Amino acid sequence: MEINANNTQLKSWIEVNEGSDFPIQNLPFGIISTDKKPKRVASRIGNSVIDLSALSDLGYFGELDTVHLFDQENLNPFIEKGKAFTRAIRNRLSGIFLEGNNELRKKENDLHKVIIPIDRIETHLPVQIGDYTDFYSSIEHATNVGTMFRDPDNALLPNWKYIPVGYHGRASSIINSGVAIHRPKGQQKPTDGAPVFGPCKRLDFELETAFITYPGKELGDHISPDEANHYIFGMVLFNDWSARDIQKWEYVPLGPFLAKNFASSISPWIVTLDALEPFRVSGPTQDPEVFSYLKYQGDKNIDINLEVLIQPENGVATTVSKSNYKHMYWNMDQQLAHHTINGCNIKAGDMYGSGTISGPTPDSYGSMLEISWNATKPVKLSDGSERTFINDGDTVIMRGFAEKNGVRVGFGEVSTKVLPSK
Ligand code: CA
């Protein structure tokens, strides 16, 4: 099916600055509020926010039934409607804001209600997340961690190339960009000596993306890789905060727990998978051959440039990593196929982390654990200070965008400040 809104030739009558992540080809979805009105659904072009509840009230969606779909505190009711509907809304938005279309542009009263400058809104967590799963799908990341902590000659565990390894995380502590976190406390075990309790000393970020699903199938059914696209609504940037010292002591034998569940931060605008389709690329060769329920057709990776910056308190931000989503060994369709092959059901608004996205070179690693190579190689920031992990007062910023044929579709950023332990 042709996605009209992706046409690279389209231009909006709304001004879009050079290098913006939000041209008319993006049209992401999020939740905003203003001084005058509570939470509702919005999109954006450039630095202009589009109030979809106002557009709906004014009748701009015509035949598309949007009654009480956009005056909501989250996107779940909208996502519940499925891919054909969300695609139709995005195509309709593309039409309304297309250069040459004056149906809204020339109506001063309507314009005033629909378009809000970005500096007058606040964004909120876009979905009510029922379940959250985190994968471990970057071969570079898994190899680095295995090399550091186990055996450089057998860095990958025997299951890694057979199974898109994952675990069930915590949904309640997923937070919007801009919400500060407190350094977690917990048990740690020094190499020599008894376990101790106190603030985490090795606070780390994990550079990830996450995808959000539409309603799935009934309990007991599975979703094949070829069907998966139909069940994925969109993506966000995802900083999966990790307390490495707590993790090291607690993770045996059941895996991550308090080292991971204190916070994960996401970017506020969900970029639809539709908007990312033009940036598909092929993934790495999978050897050994995967089970047939994980086999897929076509290009399933996506070329998304990713960047991590650390900004010390009152200082300027320094880039500490540049990676790319295209490096992922297991793609989203395979992750969803694996997740459901046992009959596990998925729901609208569920979130699935990619796992840390490391590239092949040290300047593309997706966590401080790897960048500082387990605290043996400190990173110098532009103010002259050094980091092996994240300090109190630091703000970690992640950015991401795809770019091709003169069109740049991006996520903006996820930015989180670290405060001292409570
Ligand atoms: Ca993770």
Residues with CB under 5 A from ligand 1 (ion): 134, 206, 240
Instruction: Please write the tens of the pLDDT for every residue from 41-77.
Output: 999 999 999 999 999 999 999 999 999 999 999 999 9
- Regarding whether 230 and 323 lie in a shared domain, the answer is yes
- Regarding whether 297 and 222 lie in a shared domain, the answer is yes
- Regarding whether 165 and 39 lie in a shared domain, the answer is no
pLDDT band for position 106 (cuts 50, 70, 90): very high
Instruction: Give 193's contacts (C-beta < 8 A, 6+ positions apart).
Output: none
- Regarding whether 369 and 312 lie in a shared domain, the answer is yes
Percent share of the chain, pLDDT over 70: 100
Instruction: Give 177's contacts (C-beta < 8 A, 6+ positions apart).
Output: 123, 265, 266, 267, 268, 412, 413, 414, 415, 416
Span 323-339, mean pLDDT? 98
Q: Are 24 and 11 in contact (CB under 8 A)?
A: yes
Last residue of a domain, one of 124, 140, 157: 124
Q: How far apart are the CA of 5 and the centre of ligand 1, in A? A: 32
Residue 149's pLDDT is 87
Residue 1's pLDDT is 58
Catalytic residue among 141, 222, 338, 339: 141
- Regarding whether 286 and 402 lie in a shared domain, the answer is yes
Last residue of a domain, one of 54, 89, 124: 124
Q: How far apart are the CA of 248 and the centre of ligand 1, in A? A: 14
CA–CA distance, 258 with 261 (Å, rounded to integer):
5
Q: Which residues pair with residue 182 across a beta bridge?
A: 419
- Regarding whether 117 and 43 lie in a shared domain, the answer is yes
Q: For residue 72, count CB atoms less than 10 angstroms from its CB and return exposed for 0-12, middle for 13-18, buried for 19 or more.
A: middle
Residue 2 has pLDDT above 80, yes or no: no
Say how many domains are in the chain. 2
Q: For residue 297, count CB atoms less than 10 angstroms from its CB and return exposed for 0-12, middle for 13-18, buried for 19 or more.
A: exposed
**141 catalytic, yes or no?**
yes
Write out the residue range of the structural domain in which residue 404 sits: 132-419
Residue 287's pLDDT is 97
Q: How far apart are the CA of 355 and the centre of ligand 1, in A? A: 5
- Regarding whether 269 and 211 lie in a shared domain, the answer is yes
Last residue of a domain, one of 99, 124, 149: 124
Instruction: Please write the tens of the pLDDT for every residue from 340-398.
Output: 999 999 999 999 999 999 999 999 999 999 999 999 999 999 999 999 999 999 999 99
Span 403-412, mean pLDDT? 97
Residue 249's pLDDT is 96
CATH number of the CATH domain containing 335: 3.90.850.10
- Regarding whether 264 and 138 lie in a shared domain, the answer is yes
- Regarding whether 241 and 108 lie in a shared domain, the answer is no
CATH number of the CATH domain containing 42: 2.30.30.230
Span 129-136, mean pLDDT? 98
Residue 412 carries which DSSP code? E
Span 401-410, mean pLDDT? 97
Q: How far apart are the CA of 135 and the centre of ligand 1, in A? A: 7
- Regarding whether 176 and 296 lie in a shared domain, the answer is yes
- Regarding whether 266 and 301 lie in a shared domain, the answer is yes
Q: How far apart are the CA of 296 and the centre of ligand 1, in A? A: 24
